[in-house]
Structure 1
Amino acid sequence: MSTMIATFFGVGRLPFAPGTWGSLAALLIGWAAERYVGLWLLIVLTVISIIAGFWACHRELADKPGDDPSEIVIDEVAGMWIALLFPAIAFATRDMSMVWPGPIAAFFFFRLFDIRKPWLVGRADRRHDPVGVMLDDLWAGVFAGVATLVTAALFHVVLM
């Protein structure tokens, strides 16, 4: 069960950039969940992915100190859903579902912060433990969500 969760039901085993595949799967599922069921489902999925992610990472990395295997993508899923919460909540305040480019911007910002690992993202990544595996992507999700809202505000206030 921990392997299934850690690889997000096998998505992490896809070839070439499994973190991007995990983020893309999270984008599609999270966007659909929010659009067709509601913001509450995205919130529930995010909380479950964080809790299950910490559990699965501890189980999968118990005998592998310092490892962050690329097939573990539950951290990307949780981080991506955190990033999606920012535009989802912003759209919910206007009584509507997320529309592009909000979720797309969140995806690109999330990948940017996950790959570049600035400040708290990099600090968490340097922990080299199961908590760090999850925490760096959670921080990347927060930064991506904020960057998405700032970009939207600049676009809508300054350019429109």
Structure 2
Amino acid sequence: MNPLDKIKLTNPIHLLAVGLGSGLSPKAPGTFGSIAAIPIWLLFYQLPDLYYGILLLIMTFAGIYICDKTAKDMGEHDHGSIVFDEFVGMWITLWLIPSFHWLWIVIAFLLFRLFDIWKPWPIGWFDRKVDGGVGIMIDDIWAGIFAAFCLWALGALYQLI
């Protein structure tokens, strides 16, 4: 049986895990999930850093449960259609956006996708060694951290020029 046949979009946990349907794309579901995270980010990007950080923590812990439950229901660890981890990774990346401009959003997206696909150390290590919901989430969290740092550095460099 195809693991996707076990997904029920009427189940809110499954719906969130597949990024409101963005992860069901037959090609590049992680990319579509990352893109789908951006309009949702627009709803909370102006939060003060403290509240933004709290929201990220809540979404991270919720994501561990959501991704773990959906993976178990599908019978496959980290199926490509599970993209809630990409949502959180993108939101981490976008936290340090230098300014609200479409170009910075595109750069944030490209940096996050670069680290999420490339998986340099320790991202790749976490991806291979950690199981369950934590394993599904942790590599995207680290990809988001790497991308956010690069985005912040590019912003600082841009200010110097």
Which TM-score bucket, shorter chain as reference?
A: 0.7 to 0.9
* 1:150 alignment partner, one of 143, 148, 153: 153
Q: In the TM superposition, what whole-angstrom CA distance separates every residue of 1:72-99 from its partner, at most 9, and x where no partner exists? A: 0000000000001112xx55xxxxxx22
Structure 1 residue 151, shift from structure 2 partner: 1.3
Q: CA RMSD in A?
A: 2.2
Q: Is the 8 A contact 2:68 2:136 kept in 1?
A: no
Q: How far apart are the structure 2 equivalents of 1:85 and 1:122?
A: 23
Question: Which residue of structure 1 aligns with residue 71 of structure 2?
Answer: 61
Look up the match of 1:26: 37
Residue in structure 2 matched with residue 103 of structure 1 by the alignment: 105
Q: Which sections of structure 2, spanning at least 5 residues, go unmatched?
A: 1-11
* 2-structure distance, mates of 1:72, 1:50: 14
Q: Aligned with 2:101: secondary structure?
A: coil
Percent of aligned positions with the same letter in both sequences?
39
| 1:82 aligned residue | 92
Corresponding residue for 1:94?
none
What is aligned with 2:135?
Answer: 132
Aligned length: 147
Q: 2:26 aligns with which of 12, 15, 24?
A: 15
Q: Which residue of 1 aligns with 2:5?
A: none
Runs of 5+ consecutive residues of structure 1 not aligned to the other structure: 92-97
How far apart in 2 are the matches of 1:44 and 1:28?
Answer: 19
Change (3 A) 1:99 1:69: same
Q: Distance in 1 between matches of 2:149 and 2:93?
A: 8
Task: Find the residue that maps to 1:71 and give its secondary structure.
Answer: coil
CA-CA distance at 1:4 after TM superposition: 1.3
